[in-house]
Structure 1
Amino acid sequence: MPVPVTLLGLGRMGRALATRLTERGHPVTTWTRSGGGTAASAVEAVAGAEVVLLCLYDGPACRAVLDEVRPALPAGAVVVNTATVSPAEATELAALVPGTVHVPVLGSTGPAAAGTLTLLVGGTPGPAAAAVLADLGTALPCGTPAQAAAAKLVANGALADALLAVRTARTRAAALGLDPTLTLDLLEHTTLGGLVRAKRDRLADPQDDREADFAAAALAKDVALLAAALHPGADVAGLMTDPAVLAPLHDYAAGHATGDPSYHRRAFLPTAHVEGLRAGTFTSWTLDEYCALFTGAPAPDEASRRRRIDQVSATGSTATATMTLHHGPDVFTDSFVLLRVDGAWRIANKTYHRQV
């Protein structure tokens, strides 16, 4: 039976859920903070809704939207919050609107479009919300909103651990001289096989620029929530990788790809040094000396060159990282020390090993 649904939040998942529910015959009204929904405002969107579906990024976003729409919610409307938040936030948000059900999901936009999500249900949905959820996937009862939020963090923590295991295995394989394609073939026959098969195209091509099903920044946010829940009151900065630390590494790679030294000047602190052994002799370049090596044009064999970020670890305002660069017959392992200065990450120093 069709149920009038208001969907607040039109990111990747929100759009997929709206499409799925519309295809299943539910009248869907949408609103997003950045514009583009069918309603002009959040208050207008919830008028007449039986189920209000929150598809927002984090706890503060959910709180702000609920504060805005609470006075306008129709009597008996059920709020279903799909956001990934901490257990404490789930409890606080559920208390804002009595009868709120916390339902984070397992699965990305593909399962959302197909109606095959796993729904971690915290609370009692009621008939209308249950009918909507049945068209999105399979319910896994988790008890309270806090327990459903905790279950989602545990699941995403397992995903992060698996991705790190894939990265570690590929780094070891490269160090032992295994062909990258053979490495992925091998990993498909291990306990990581399901993940590798699902992501193989992107693992094989690090330059794949298709829209991600699940952004790295969102996973990092969820890992931070898990760390905070496990270590309440602690500084969890060292238990996650700040996605912003990748920016100077991407600039560094772009400098090599284009031959444009301005990328390196943006990536490095002005006081940085680049040090290593060249033909057995220790060499130390200032940033100016290093940038002078780049001509402003790509290398003739750039199309065949490959670069990969192997490891990143951030603790507070300092971080370390390693990259592997395949430049013709030469393979470089670059090691970086990075600092967060005035809110931005920069490379403080780089050392390298050249394997001919």
Structure 2
Amino acid sequence: MPAILLLIVSGFYVGNTVLAEYVEKEAVKVPLEAYLKGHETGKPEYMQKAFHTDGKLMFIRDGNYTTIEFKDYIGRMNGQPAKDEANRKRYIESVDISGNAAVGKIVLDYPNARFVDYMSLLKIDGEWKIVNKTFNVEPKNSSD
């Protein structure tokens, strides 16, 4: 009888742990999905929901380390989708969480280039925010 009780209690614990991990992963996806929606629509308000105000983009351009403040990045948005929006694909490839820190990998597959974004997120005051973004871009050949 004690073995059965232990098995039942263990089952509840494992079930609750799995549920909690699922809920947290879905919460991390909220700013990542807002980021994707911002790209889809060109509307800055989605990016404002996704990014922490103090964050930066960090990347290599022409062999040089480059940074852009999130506010400047958001300021470039014109509120309209790209002309080739119908040919663009974007998705969250993975999410990894450890306590109040997470990393999201996003793929932006566009007609002329493929971007891979790595988003660093922190849970701040109970809400997940993208605090930094690094990315790589690979141009596509016109025959792709």
TM range (shorter): 0.7 to 0.9
Secondary structure, aligned partner of 2:116: strand
What is the TM-score of this pair, normalised by structure 2? 0.81
Instruction: Please give the secondary structure, in 1, of the residue aligned with 2:117.
Output: strand
**Is the 2:25–2:95 contact (alpha carbons within 8 Å) kept by the matching residues of 1?**
no
In 2, the alpha carbon distance for the partners of 1:225 and 1:351 equals: 30
Other-structure match for 1:289: 72
Within-5 A mapping of 1:263-274: 263-274=46-57
1:302 and 2:72 equivalent? no
Partner deviation per Cα, 1:198-219 (whole Å, 9 max, x = no partner): xxxxxxxxxxxxxxxxxxxxxx
2 CA distance for matches of 1:311 and 1:249?
11
Equivalent in the alignment of 1:150: 11
Matched positions, count: 134
Q: Distance in 2 between matches of 1:332 and 1:325?
A: 5
**Which letter does structure 1 place at the counterpart of 2:86?**
A
- Describe the SS at the equivalent of 1:242: helix
Q: Secondary structure at the match of 2:56?
A: strand
Please list, as runs of the form range in 1=range in 2, the aligned pairs for 1:175-214 lying within 5 A after superposition.
Answer: none
Give me the whole-angstrom Cα distance separating, in 1, the residues matched to 2:102 and 2:133. Answer: 12
Q: Aligned partners of 2:75, 2:23: CA distance in 1, in Å?
A: 35
- Partner residue of 2:17 out of 224, 236, 239: 224
- Give the corresponding residue for 1:346: 129
**Structure 1 CA distance, aligned partners of 2:95 and 2:23?**
10
- The answer to which structure has the higher strand fraction is 2
The equivalent position to 2:62 in structure 1, one of 240, 261, 279, is 279
Shift, 1:327, TM fit: 1.7
Residues 242, 223 of structure 1: alpha-carbon distance in 2 compared, 3 angstrom cutoff = farther
Unmatched segments (≥5 aa) in structure 1:
1-90, 92-143, 154-221, 227-235
The separation in 2 between residues aligned to 1:285 and 1:318, in whole angstroms, is 22
Q: Which runs of 4+ in 1 moved over 4 A?
A: none
1:223 deviates by 6.9
RMSD: 2.8
Q: Which residue pairs with 1:333 in the alignment?
A: 116
> Are 1:245 and 2:20 counterparts?
no
- Out of 107, 114, 124, the residue aligned to residue 324 of structure 1 is 107
- In structure 2, relative to structure 1, the CA distance for the partners of 1:261 and 1:225 (3 Å cut) is closer
2:36 & 2:104 partners in 1: Cα distance? 13
Match of 2:142 in 1: none
Structure 2 portions without partners, runs of 5+? 140-144
| 1:313 and 1:320 in contact (8 A); partners too | yes
Does the Cα contact within 8 Å between 1:340 and 1:346 map onto a contact in 2? Answer: yes
Query: Structure 1 residues 326, 342: closer, same or farther in 2, change over 3 A?
Result: same
Distance (whole Å) between structure 2 residues aligned to residue 243 and residue 309 of structure 1: 12
Asked if structure 2 preserves the Cα contact closer than 8 Å seen for 1:276 and 1:284, the reply is: yes
Indicate yes or no: 2:129 matched with 1:355: no
Q: Displacement of 1:240 after TM fit?
A: 8.6
1:225, 1:291 → 2: CA distance?
Answer: 36
Larger-gyration structure (1/2): 1
Over the matched positions of the two proteins, sequence identity in percent amounts to 31
